[in-house]
Amino acid sequence: MNFTILLEMQKELDEKIESQHGLRKEDLINEKILALLVELGELANETRCFKFWSVKPSAERTVILEEYVDGVHFILSLGLTFGYGNELPPRMAEKKDSLTSQFNQVYSLISVFKNDISEINYAVLVDNYMNLGEMLGFSWEEVEAAYMAKNKVNHQRQQQGY
């Protein structure tokens, strides 16, 4: 598994967004961290994994996958900002024993990364976000394909003045 193609696609999308809106990626760190936290919340909301007070089922798998790859966009985008993500270390993180705990773990790791933007903290975040994807039942091939589809939509949105 490698990120090379996705990083290249993310770079192209980010550059389009930056030039269209007259921004520099170095100035968008806070926004992208918050965007990632928000996407993670949207993802959790669609799974409904923490809603012990409700009997409604989770959203459809495709909806959950789309939310998941929105998060992948911002993770890659943050990696590109700091030159991280080209060489990911081997998968080492252990999965938590419930989806809710895994979500809380990823939230914590986004904060850890925000407070100390190091390559190791980035790699640990990526590792745990990938574990979250596996716990949601997604293969890497599915994630890649869904990422590519959403990346295309994001380009179209920019062209249409989103």
Does 129 engage in binding with ligand UMP (CB under 6 A)?
no
Between 38 and 120, name the residue whose CB sits nearer to ligand UMP.
38
Stretch that binds ligand UMP, among 53-61, 68-76, 118-126, 127-135 (CB under 6 A): 68-76
Does 154 engage in binding with ligand UMP (CB under 6 A)?
yes
Stretch that binds ligand UMP, among 67-75, 88-96, 97-105, 118-126 (CB under 6 A): 67-75
Between 14 and 46, name the residue whose CB sits nearer to ligand UMP.
14
Distance (Å, whole) CA 45 – CA 61: 13
Site for ligand UMP in 3-42 (CB under 6 A): 13-14, 17
CB of 96 to ligand UMP, least distance (A): 25
Stretch that binds ligand UMP, among 56-64, 66-74, 86-94, 97-105 (CB under 6 A): 66-74
Distance (Å, whole) CA 35 – CA 75: 10
Q: How far is CA 61 from CA 3, 66, 72, 104, 143, in A?
A: 23, 9, 16, 21, 12
The alpha carbon of residue 158 and the mean position of all alpha carbons in its chain are separated, in whole angstroms, by: 20
Where does residue 100 rank: exposed (0-12), middle (13-18), buried (19+ CB within 10 A)? middle
| Structural tokens at position 150 | 């959403």
Site for ligand UMP in 75-104 (CB under 6 A): 77
Distance (Å, whole) CA 98 – CA 110: 19
Report the interface residues with ligand UMP, using CB under 6 A. 13-14, 17, 70, 73-74, 77, 150, 154
